[in-house]
Homo-oligomer: A and B are copies of this chain.
Amino acid sequence: MPRISEEHRERRRQQILDAAQICFSRKGFHETSLQEIFAESGLSAGAVYRYFKSKDELVRAIAERSQPVVVAVLEDFLTRDVMPPLDEIVERFADAVVERMGVGGPVTVAPQGWALATYHQAVRDCVASLYLNTRSCWVRVAERLKDDGRLPAGSDPFAVGVLLTAALPGFILQRLLFGDVAPATLSSAIRSLVGAEAAIAHA
């Protein structure tokens, strides 16, 4: 008995989250009223309140799941004996992000999550830890590449991790606003920079 109803609960929860996501991506967290979510989900107020005890909780749940959790891709690469080239890693990483964007996919509302994170403590904690996590994966990737002699001896893995992490929000934003960037664009950029020794100052 518990099994069935547990599944049922989970299905309901998803139904609500999906409806909320659609609404939020259309009008934003705050311009969306719960009434609209009730309508979109086909559930009553009471039903929704059985699963989320306030609008804030629902917003938080969406804000959290909107963040592209793609560390798995990086972690996977890190477990291998031989790391693939950086441009390939970047492309795979971006592929995973794009996969979660789709039309109305969770990542569509990621920018709203970032915004909320700048002033809402609980969301900040969650978003910060996700990005910190992603960043530390990138840093480890850079360390591995450096150890393998594939990044210059004097290179700064932390800085590389920061840059690659930094590119994520901007990549999402350019995709949402312009739609003219793809994973291949990022990997192409990596290839263009690498081997461009002449472009930098020699300390």
A-side residues, CB < 8 A to B, are 25-31, 84-88, 108-109, 111-112, 114-120, 124, 127-128, 131-132, 135, 142, 145, 149-152, 154-160, 162-163, 165-171, 173-174, 176-178, 181, 185-186, 188-201
| B194 in contact with A128 (CB, 8 Å) | no
CA distance A120 to B159 in the complex (A): 34
| B165 in contact with A166 (CB, 8 Å) | no
Q: Which of B84, B128, B142, B196 contacts A177 (CB 8 A)?
A: B128
User: Per DSSP, are chain A's interface residues mostly helix, strand or loop, or mixed?
Assistant: helix
CA distance A118 to B66 in the complex (A): 14
In the complex where A193-B193, A199-B85 touch, is A118 in contact with B112 (Cβ < 8 A)?
Answer: yes
Q: List B contacts of A128 (CB < 8 A).
A: 177-178
| A192 in contact with B160 (CB, 8 Å) | yes
24 A–B contacts, CB within 8 A, in A order: A28-B120, A30-B31, A84-B201, A86-B193, A111-B114, A128-B177, A135-B174, A145-B196, A145-B199, A150-B199, A151-B192, A151-B198, A155-B192, A155-B193, A155-B196, A156-B189, A159-B186, A159-B192, A162-B185, A163-B193, A169-B169, A169-B173, A190-B193, A195-B196
